[in-house]
Chains A and B, each alone.
Chain A
Amino acid sequence: MPFKKFEEKIFKGIMYISFSLLALSLFSIIVVVFVKGLGSLSFKMLFSVPKGGYYLGKEGGILNAILGSIAIGTIATALSFLYAFCIVFYINVYRFSKSKFSRIVRFFLDILWGIPSIVYGAFGFGIMLLFKIPASLLAGALTLSFVILPIMARTMDETLRMIPFEMKQAAYSLGATRFEISYKVIIKQAFPGLLTAVLLAFGRGIGDAASIIMTASYTDSIPTSLLRPVATLPLCVFFQLSTPFKEVQERGYAAAFVLTMLMLLVSLLARLSFRSFSKYVVK
């Protein structure tokens, strides 16, 4: 066999293997979590809060954690969106994308991205002690928003950088201002990418445990106030898996399954809405 063909075959082979590993890991995670949690999965579990002795195996559900995760994830995503949006539009529209300033901002974001979320948690906790803020939904969401900010900002940034320079030239030469170009042209062109960034950050947010363990604490009741502690699914999984009781551990897996499905649902809904949003995108 000629070498070139051989080479081709090898690389194709490697690609198939990596794809299989990828598919396998996704499916095995979902299957394992599902099978291990199956015994505890019920509608009752989804729609009730823990009763007394829940963590010892008595009655109750994880509604507190489901609602808490959605609340903390949504608030954190919204907060960091406001921030990330301003940053990336500033460094890409108001400054030259490749300017020194923009590169420094990107560098900072990359460093922030690399900081472990437990460090953000410790940082948030330190600030809370300083200002005597109790562990709460607000404190947790604020801390979490810092964790997901670099992810969202850098993903948005990559999208904005892909916008053809000629498109900006064309819009400017019609006499549009930077602001008009931002919200009438760039947002439309970048919309799918911006949405992906938000989802990615949201997914990372509701999955994170380390940054909120000290800042948001945990509670058995559903979230009603920004200033009260809030339950979250990752911590719900953690607490239940770390008990010595089999049936409680099973509930932990069930909660993990719910968390995974929640993420899948959000991504799927977003993908479905993509088509209508990207109708006018210039390829």
Chain B
Amino acid sequence: MGAKEPIKIQNLSVSYGNQKVLKEINLEIPEKGITVILGPSGCGKSTLLKCFNRIIELEENVKVDGKLFVDGEDILHPKTDLIVLRKKMGLLLQKPQVLPMSIYENVAFGAKIHKKMKKSEIDALVERELKKVNLWDEVKDRLKSPADKLSIGQQQRLCLARGLAVEPEIILGDEPTSALDPLSAEVIEKQFLKLKENYTIILVTHMLRQAKRLADYVAFIYLGELVEFNSAPQFFENPKDERTKKYLSGLIAG
């Protein structure tokens, strides 16, 4: 598990209609560990994240240019098999979005799409993944009840389990804790710290403190440009760019 080689981004530009949201991003994201994409709201970090599994294409009038290599393959190439690509990545959205089915079915949904499985295999999978995200004990007696009935923090953990069930290499998080209460957010953060041993995690956040708690590497994006990329200690202790220094000292509002 985990990406086999670094994710390479070359000259990546994204525009919505006439508006350029990302400008010529060049970045190399190391395999394993947590890479945080940091920046103020509206700077294009979510857009960057959505390029990795190309769900950016679900939006209208989007134009993506450049190259993005995952496992040595340019995934922005039109011939890329999106199903295979998306199976490699688990995505957590800002607001947890459960699917209109039971807790059990939510976890099994992705896995069942990719592989024909026996009932006993699915049972085992659901239990394993729910245990990974510390949700099993809370829901084991009501696996058949609607996922919508869970609290929002539980829903986000369920979404994580659902993503992990398709056995991805990479986990993408789009401010996955910002809609959660502090306790649930902490649970999710702990999961990330545990998962980073085996997965490449790319996490978008505008919360500086969260970045400090979690990051192994930080990419700072400001107004659609990649300002600075460095290992977390370097980035926080010894920022090079003026804009990074300003952001870290709170002069650029998040």
Contact A280 B97 (CB under 8 A): no
Residues of A within 8 A of B (CB): 96, 98-99, 164-177, 180, 184-185, 188-189, 279-283
Asked if A280 meets B100 with Cβ closer than 8 Å, knowing A174-B113, A174-B163, A175-B166, the reply is yes
Considering only residues 65-117 of chain B, those with a C-beta below 8 Å from chain A are 82-84, 86-87, 89-91, 93, 95, 97-102, 109-110, 113-114
Determine whether B58 belongs to the interface, using a CB cutoff of 8 Å to chain A.
yes
With A173-B90, A174-B86, A177-B83 already in contact, 5 other A-B pairs whose C-beta atoms are closer than 8 Å: A99-B60, A167-B100, A171-B109, A174-B87, A176-B113
Contact indicator A175/B83 (Cβ below 8 Å): yes
Q: List 30 A-B contacts (CB under 8 A).
A: A99-B60, A167-B97, A167-B100, A168-B58, A169-B55, A170-B93, A172-B58, A172-B86, A173-B53, A173-B55, A173-B172, A174-B109, A174-B110, A175-B110, A175-B113, A175-B114, A175-B166, A176-B110, A184-B109, A185-B99, A188-B99, A188-B100, A189-B100, A279-B146, A280-B146, A281-B100, A282-B99, A282-B146, A282-B147, A282-B148
In the docked arrangement, what's the CA distance between A185 and B109, Å? 10
Which positions in B face A, CB cutoff 8 Å? 53, 55, 58-60, 82-84, 86-87, 89-91, 93, 95, 97-102, 109-110, 113-114, 146-148, 159, 162-163, 166, 172
Cβ–Cβ contact A172 & B55, under 8 A? yes
Specify the chain B residue showing the minimal Cβ separation from A100: B60
CA distance A170 to B86 in the complex (A): 11
Contacts of B159 in A (CB 8 A): 170
Q: Is the CB of A174 within 8 A of B58?
A: no
Shortest Cβ gap from B151 to chain A (Å): 14
Residues on the B chain within 8 Å of A169, using CB: 55, 58, 91, 93, 97
A96 touches B146 (CB 8 A): no
- Nearest CB on A from B70, distance (A): 14
Contact of B148 among A165, A177, A280 (CB under 8 A): A280
Give the 9 A-B residue pairs with the shortest CB-CB distance, closest first. Answer: A174-B110, A173-B91, A175-B86, A189-B100, A175-B87, A166-B97, A188-B100, A170-B97, A96-B60
Q: Which residue of A lies closest to B165 (CB)?
A: A174
Nearest CB on B from A5, distance (A) = 37
A166 x B93 contact (CB < 8 A): yes
Q: How far is the CA of A228 from the CA of B183 in the complex (A)?
A: 70
Chain B residues whose CB sits within 8 angstroms of the CB of A96 once the complex forms: 59-60
A168 to B166, CA, bound (A): 17
Q: Is the CB of A174 within 8 A of B162?
A: yes
In the complex, what residue of chain B is closest to A173 when comparing beta carbons? Answer: B91
In the complex, chain A residues whose CB is within 8 Å of the CB of B53: 173
CB closest residue in chain B, given A191? B100
Closest to B105 in A: A280
Q: Which residues of A contact B55 (CB under 8 A)?
A: 169, 172-173
Interfacial chain B residues near A171, Cβ < 8 Å: 99, 109
Which residues of B have CB within 8 Å of A283? 148
B87-A166 in contact (CB<8A) = no
Q: Which residue of A lies closest to B110 (CB)?
A: A174
Selected contact of B99 from candidates A98, A170, A175, A177, CB within 8 Å: A170
CA distance A109 to B166 in the complex (A): 40
Docked CA distance A174–B148 (Å): 18
Docked Cα-Cα span, A171 to B100, in Å, equals: 11
Q: Once bound together, how far apart are the Cα atoms of A170 and B159, in whole Å? A: 9
Q: Is the CB of A167 within 8 A of B99?
A: yes
Which residues from A are CB-within-8-Å of B147?
280, 282
CA distance A177 to B83 in the complex (A): 7
Q: Contacts of A167 on B, CB cut-off 8 Å?
A: 97, 99-100
A166 to B95, CA, bound (A): 8
